[in-house]
Amino acid sequence: MKVLEKGPGWGIECKCTGSGNGGGGCGAKLLVERGDIYLTHHYDYGGGHDVYYTFRCPECGAETDLDESKVPSMIRWNLLDEFKSSHRSMGR
């Protein structure tokens, strides 16, 4: 099968708030696309592990966590697969 014309990509309008990362966002209105999102993690002393879908503002550099429900499940799965693959190759 051959792609004749690519469909529209996914994107979401977000505000740079620094939410989940100590605040300090600049308030810029941004179009965040799939390639802008990466995983960040928080590990607690009890062994718990939380995963966040994060983007970095190109204006001020602040990181903002997205509400997981706003990221399509296919993108979440792809990011988690990429993370697992990269950690397997590093022997973790």
For 15-34, what is each residue's pLDDT tens digit?
Answer: 999 999 999 999 999 999 99
Residue 1: its pLDDT value, please? 84
Predicted TM-score (pTM) of the model is: 0.80
Which domain range does residue 54 map to? 13-89
Q: Is residue 2 part of a domain?
A: no
Instruction: Report DSSP state, residue 50.
Output: E
Say how many domains are in the chain: 1
Of the listed ranges 8-12, 29-33, 87-91, the least confidently predicted one is: 87-91
Q: Is residue 5 part of a domain?
A: no
Q: What is the pLDDT of residues 41-50, one digit of tens each?
A: 888 898 888 9
Q: Is residue 17 part of a domain?
A: yes
Q: Is residue 50 part of a domain?
A: yes
